[in-house]
Structure 1
Amino acid sequence: MSILEVKDLKVSFDSIMGKVNAVKGVSFSVNEGEILGIVGESGSGKSVSSLAIMGLIDDRTGSIDSGEIIFDGKNLLELSEKELCKFRGDRISMIFQEPMTSLNPVVTVFKQLKEVYKIHMPEKIKDCRRELVALLSRLNIPDAEKILDKYPFELSGGLKQRIMIAMGMICKPDIIIADEPTTALDVTTQAEILDLLKEIKNENNSGIILITHDLGVIAEMAQRVAVMYFGNVVEECSVLEFFDNAKHPYSIDLLAAMPDNFDGRFRSIDGNVPNLYEKVQGCPYYKRCKMASKECLEKEPEMIEISKGHKVRCLKAKDLVREEVKNG
């Protein structure tokens, strides 16, 4: 059952060079107890989409132009800031991409974690230190009692990331958005963080949106995958279908560029993601696509379902399916 549905979400920002459409009609859903992996190059709209879900788009420079974000039967975009605060951090939480900049360097860990109790569980605030010590210990943080009294700048990257996870776990949310939770961490710490996310999912039956560049992490963690490019979802399917039968040319190129697919040389995708200020006609992947034709330059592709649960935004998708059937 879907616990969160994002429908045709569009987000833009004002800049000195004019309006920038960062998210151009994103749609996806997350089920209870499911990990949805979102992948794509930098600038594809992954983090902006997650910030929109949390209601954290700065209205001085950005705006949500249209769409719906349905959670628990309510459209979060229609709620006031006060109403949204009842959900944010309580039933929907986010583990931010850079813990070193997301945590306040001049406030102790305890005071920052205590704030969650102050806002969402004031009745527990007197006993919150004991609960926090138990929680940090569960997250394999040594000397949890001492860590609570330290400042973030005194902690390693791995410890700061665990503090961010603890902050997201306190209220046992229904949805956790993990934006690059293992960035800049060593391999051992990365494995521990991923195991923690699995435990959280299993214990609370939480839905998790896992944003990452690492397809290896997706293979290990996710049940479904949404591939984003230039502000939109271009393919969505199960993780097994993605690795065995990806259909969008961008997905195929991403998989070919994985180090595991080394065949005597490392593959890369030629060209770059279009500039956000650039007016793109037709398919935004046209200039980089090995399957592109004149039709792709003239016509913007729509999302189509090529098989149950497998959606692709590509004009060639149906032809690829026919070819597969013919050769099958």
Structure 2
Amino acid sequence: MYQCLAKNDEDSTQAAAQVDLGDSAPVLDYRFISQTLQPGPSVSLKCIASGAPTPHVSWSLDGFPLPQVDRLVVGQYVGVGGSVVSHVNITGVRTEDGGAYACTAVNRAGSTAHQARLNVYVTNSGSSAGPAYVRPMSVVTAVAGEQLAVSCPAAGYPLAQLTWSRDGRTLPVTARQKVYENGTLVITRVEKSRDGGSYTCTAQDKHGRTHSATATVQVLECHVIAVPPKLSIFTFRRDLALGERVYEACTVIGGDKPVQVTWTKDGVPVKSIEGVQVRNLDQLTTFLVIDHLSPRHAGNYTCTATNDAASAQHTSALNVNGKLLVS
């Protein structure tokens, strides 16, 4: 954290900036492509990601975790130059393996993702073939007041139709619901009392065969979590002399509003100390002002910022060297 402070006989001002070194968001150096296959062969999907620190790569299928089957194996290793090589190997691909595969690379500097479809034809015969198939779905969490989008994890190519239903009624049944041709169900402005429950997706292939699976939608109440405040760093000059004027700023450089800023000296509010004032520039910046420095002003001064999430504080010692100023 770098702070610049400028003063003259009339006033002072300051600014702060933070410099982060070394971190870079992930970048995908290699992405797998969309494929359309007959059942039977083995398939490998690969993503290569780089970044600092080394990113972690995860996989999903139609927005859900990958199925736990012996034919599907996920591998990952760090290659030359620090890049992460991650792959999904599928042995003897089947109709049920089709869908939208996605790899996501994440580190503390950010994230990036890539998605492409693996289409596997439906047929009438063959041990590795099969009709349309909808994979089991885990519990889907929605937040009240926000939008929910759920992809139907259907496999089989080509599919004639994808539909969603609830309590035996084909969706949509309200203006807040919409079902797209690719099988995505979207509900806007989710309501806990009306939208929670079981939703069934049904896939139909070109031969008229159908398969269904049900997802449970759990709606959570919306609770906004405030971001704690963050303060700039201030330091009193070490050569302060008796009679000098002190003007020091405390600025809230991060966190959610509203925020309250207070000053104390050795645990006591500064408003009770003679010759000490606090002046507010705005809601986020306050100045500690001492017009005529005296020995009683020596001590530890603390600036505290408080919002709905937490409090943050910074303390700096003020020392008086005992020399009188000569005008």
Superposition TM-score tier, normalisation by shorter sequence: under 0.3
For normalisation by structure 1, the TM-score amounts to 0.22
Q: Which has the higher contact order (CA 8 A, sep 6+)?
A: 1
> Which structure shows the higher strand fraction?
2
For normalisation by structure 2, the TM-score amounts to 0.22
